[in-house]
Structure 1
């Protein structure tokens, strides 16, 4: 056990150092010539001669090799020097601090919304001891932030005109972004509490307290105190997830926060500004995680801090079998109808045409059929997600026999939102389907490997394996006939249930311009392209939005049966339901 804990800690350190090293080497890893980027930013008319580029490389210190570059960057950080922007020529630190202040205000408001939503979802269960809030909470948790932000902008900002749709000029500009960020987070928090409360309220001490005449309010308060400590680390992960969701929400509402700053720097190849922004987002995650640990220790008190307190098995949300079947049937019919049409035919005479028999879902700004693009986009979105699931499964099964490595990697992956990884990958390799798939794959396999490692430990400790060894069974026989079959099936099922969430993560990167490139009919990219003319042709935005909502619905119905929830394996991994981009899986 001590060896496992030590290897997990070492893996965490190695993974964190690898992330920081990647950030420091971004100018060297970039697929573009940084000198050319700086030359274009300083003078668009100047000819890119080798002499001019060499002078810029020497000025930026890019001609000294990767190790010297990393050492110089780290030394600057120690002095509080984040470098100079390649585009604006100004110091990076003031821009990062300004963006961080805006994002902290937005995340604080979103966290307040999340707590209100979570309290509203958990209150009926707390009062009655039973409730059906879990299903509704799961539905809220599955809504992608970028999708909710787009719908809120369209309905509340454009159609109804209730609230401003862009900018950061006053309290009114905070409402829609905070709701878009806070409602899914609140749904996830409410789901965690609502799933755990019934089992706690069935414990023996509750019955004794009620028999002794203790008031309902005191029992409810004690039940919350019993529920919260094991969930506080997962609450911290939800708060970390706000940093990833903030990138998309800030982009939709043109909020000048650190997430939008990082995304803009990645697209313009302003790598010093990108490095500072990514470090700020990582710092937010580390501080949030440390705060969660501190709050948990405070709630437990000195007597229970090292007791490994866990919740009793929760009662997960159960979806009716007809729900996922219906959602899948609607998606398949829509995709099948779209595959029969050409997604690339341009008809300028039919630009932004309303839905009709000829174009059941209307056309986009180039007159291309939206239904066709939606159908063919399934290959880019769902097909890529299926390949990532298969690869993650193979890696998870291989690393499941290294529990320390699996658990440590899962801890770091849970602290890195896919959008942040996508920004780093896009800065190094350029935006595209391959880069987006790589970014999502990097944070998809650790959760599966942690689950596999927990199952391997559980199977190896089983009494029947001890009997097999006593009977003379070889290690290879035990591995192939007992351990692998017992682990592979539930982990494969877990990987399949993560498919909608991974597809939504890819769509979110496409929506931010970090995934598939035009004219690829990818769902997130379709939603992003339609934002420019959403007032004139809302159907072009609603079609991919509804497709993504159906995917989110599949994630809800599938997540109700994720293996290991509320079991020994679940507690061993320490993994919480997390959002791949914006979806709990």
Structure 2
């Protein structure tokens, strides 16, 4: 009881620190807010000390952090979030209006996600109702690759191909129901693929339980058994549903930016880039509250549905029978994808990514320029290859740091447990917005933002594996013989845990690279003329109608990286016991499908 109360107080303290940090953004910012306001309102005035001091007095920045925080907190219950530093208008009405747009988009995306999840597991439900599930592997490669792709990449392809090239649906704006279709598909397809694969992985275990066998023996219709098996699995997915909504919140920032939707994500992003801190404070607080409320509602719903079994741990987890070894083709796919990606990088590295040729602007792919050229005549293949090298090296450094942090904090579950829950409620996009508010945008912003959240799944994985190892007979016997805690950790526990956690960290490497690319796409990372992957998509998006290859070529390489992540996770090495522990601790069969879901254990 005392430990539970301590954990509750620790979580409450973290929430208070997060809210106070948001309220103190104008005081914590390393950029001068007075200079930002002056450049926005009167760009022709000289930033003399007297002028800057007068602006700070008007903004109340000289009153000290406590007065600044108190004024912000006392104004929130009255609906007063301050005034925009850019437009001078009240923040609360604008932000609440943007929240309504985002909630509508997320609702439609949720419908798309549920339909996608139903399509992914439809075949399993059909086979289970006919008792023909023996030896079936979960999901399919198509759904796995779709689940691994970031929302900004899917949104870019949909806007370029469906919206611009084919002209089937509008790709920009927010003027009616038809404008919600493409953004909702960009958000809902990958999230639905994740939920569908998680459900598809649990259904065979439900169909193999005694009640299902007895129902089939009594001659109940297959659709009735399938419906009950679905009800059996849904409560186990509810904890992941909260993380899924948090992922929707983070993905909505990029999707709203691509489709020019006046939602909360786009409003907060523009405020972070412009250093309009009152708008950023209100938008960030709403995004955090949305994630926290969703997580709380999901946990309450799970407790109501499952009852004492959730509290007492009496509800058995659904583990499907061990699938047969992966076919030879599936074992070869990671190697093929890796060789293809390496070939693209090798072909592009000898080329100059910064060489300008204005006479060759927006040239179509040719033997001279296999991926075509961009709006300045630069070779797209060269920029993709150099951007891949830079991004993957950064991702490797972040993975190493996340591995070290995750292992250290995973050894202290009382400390890391509440921290993991808090970090899971903060998508990397939101972390990047806060970093931008503090230090401004630059090449270090996405690195710091991704590193802040990348350790959480590895810490959860480490603590879960340590709990398993401490319960083994050989560790219990060694402890009974008088072995000290440090000896057990160094000689027994860590050697058993580190291989699985290291493999998990390596599997997350492509996902971290995609996260860096998504932040670069939003303008929160490297600036032109850097060949960073996300920046390539952002630079070429305005020319999608004239030169679709300038968008589709970087998108194809990013999709190749996502496919490599999924196939490597699905057919990687390691013993069956190690791989099973990795999957169970990470919350699914394929840990790196979504960063928000892999730390669910």
TM-score, with structure 1 as normaliser:
0.94
Aligned-partner SS, 2:62: coil
Does 2:185 align with 1:179? Answer: yes
1:100 alignment partner in structure 2:
99
Deviation at 1:462, TM superposition (A): 1.9
| Counterpart position of 2:280 | 274
Q: Which residue of 1 aligns with 2:415?
A: 405
Native 8 Å contact 2:511 2:592 kept in 1: no
Residue of structure 2 equivalent to 1:550: 560
Q: Which residue matches 2:312?
A: 307
For residues 87-486 of structure 1, the aligned pairs below 5 Å read 87-129=86-128, 130=133, 133-300=139-306, 302-308=307-313, 309-314=315-320, 320-486=330-496
Of 9-18 and 267-276, deviating more is 9-18
Which residue is 1:513 aligned to?
523
CA displacement 1:272-294 (0-9 Å, x = unmatched): 00111111111211221122123
Once the 2 structures are TM-superposed, how far is the Cα of residue 402 of structure 1 from its aligned partner? 0.6
Cα deviations by residue, 1:315-364 (Å, 9 ceiling, x for unpaired): 68968221111111111111111111111111222222222222221111
Q: Distance in 2 between matches of 1:386 and 1:379?
A: 11
Instruction: From the superposition, tell whether residues 267 and 316 of structure 1 become closer, same or farther in structure 2 (CA, over 3 Å).
Output: farther
- Asked whether the equivalents of residues 243 and 597 of structure 2 are also in contact (C-alpha less than 8 Å), the reply is no
What whole-Å deviation, never above 9, does each CA across 1:157-187 have from its counterpart, x for those lacking one? 1111111111111111111111111111110
Change (3 A) 1:233 1:479: closer
Are 1:417 and 1:580, in contact at CA under 8 Å, matched by a contact in 2? no
| Displacement after TM superposition at 1:42 (Å) | 2.1
Provide the rounded CA distance (Å) in 1 between the counterparts of 2:499 and 2:4: 27
SS for the counterpart of 2:63 is coil
Secondary structure in 2 matching 1:262: helix
The 1:229/1:582 distance shift into structure 2, 3 A limit, reads closer
TM-score, normalised to structure 2, is: 0.92
Aligned in 2, Cα 1:214/1:581: closer, same or farther, shift over 3 Å? closer
C-alpha distance in 2, partners of 1:272/1:257? 17
Is this contact kept in 2: 1:378–1:523, CA < 8 A? yes
Residue 51 in structure 1 maps to residue 56 in structure 2: no
CA distance in 2 between counterparts of 1:82 and 1:249 reads: 26
On the 8 A contact 1:505/1:581 being kept in 2, the answer is no
State the shift of 1:252 in Å: 0.6
Equivalent residues in 2 for 1:61-80 (5 A)? 61-80=60-79
Mean Cα deviation higher: 473-482 or 180-189: 473-482
Q: What's the CA shift string for 1:135-174, capped at 9, x where partnerless? A: 3322221121111111111111111111111111111111
**Aligned 8 A contact 2:331 2:571 in 1:** no
Question: Is contact 2:337-2:564 (8 Å) kept?
Answer: yes
1:343 and 1:372 in contact (8 A); partners too: yes
Partner of 2:34: 35
Q: Hey, what's the Cα distance between the residues in 2 that align with 1:363 and 1:573?
A: 42
Whole-angstrom CA distance in 2 between matches of 1:161 and 1:584: 37
CA distance in 1, matches of 2:379, 2:454: 33
In the aligned structure 2, how far is the partner of 1:529 from the partner of 1:428? Answer: 25
Calculate the aligned-residue CA RMSD, in Å: 2.4
Distance 1:39 1:355 in 2: 46
1:79 deviates by 3.2
Q: 3-state SS of the aligned residue for 1:164?
A: coil
Q: Is the 8 A contact 2:522 2:538 kept in 1?
A: yes
SS in 2 for 1:282: helix
Deviation at 1:16, TM superposition (A): 2.5
CA distance in 1, matches of 2:558, 2:115: 26
The C-alpha deviation readout for 1:462-482, integer Å capped at 9, x for no partner, is 211232234454444333222
C-alpha contact (below 8 Å) 1:140/1:184 kept by paired residues: yes
Is the 2:147–2:594 contact (alpha carbons within 8 Å) kept by the matching residues of 1? no
Q: CA deviation at 1:72?
A: 2.4
In structure 2, what is the Cα distance between the partners aligned to 1:69 and 1:575? 45
| Cα distance, 1:341–1:8 mapped onto 2, change above 3 Å | farther
Residues 362-388 of structure 1: per-residue CA shift (max 9 Å, x gap): 111111111111111113211111101
C-alpha displacement of 1:573: 7.3
**Match of residue 81 from structure 1:** 80
User: Which position in structure 2 is the counterpart of 1:535?
Assistant: 545
Tell me the secondary structure at the aligned position of residue 249 of structure 1. Answer: helix
User: In the superposition, relative to structure 1, how do residues 145 and 583 fare at CA in structure 2: closer, same or farther (>3 Å)?
Assistant: farther
- Which residue is equivalent to 1:24? 23
Q: Identify the range of structure 1 (165-174 vs 28-37) with the bigger mean alpha-carbon deviation.
A: 28-37
Q: Tell me the distance in 2 between the aligned counterparts of 1:178 and 1:6.
A: 41
The SS at the match of 1:438 is helix
CA 283–472 in structure 1, closer or farther in 2 if over 3 Å, else same = closer
Q: Distance in 2 between matches of 1:106 and 1:169?
A: 13
Unpaired runs of 5+ residues, structure 1, are none
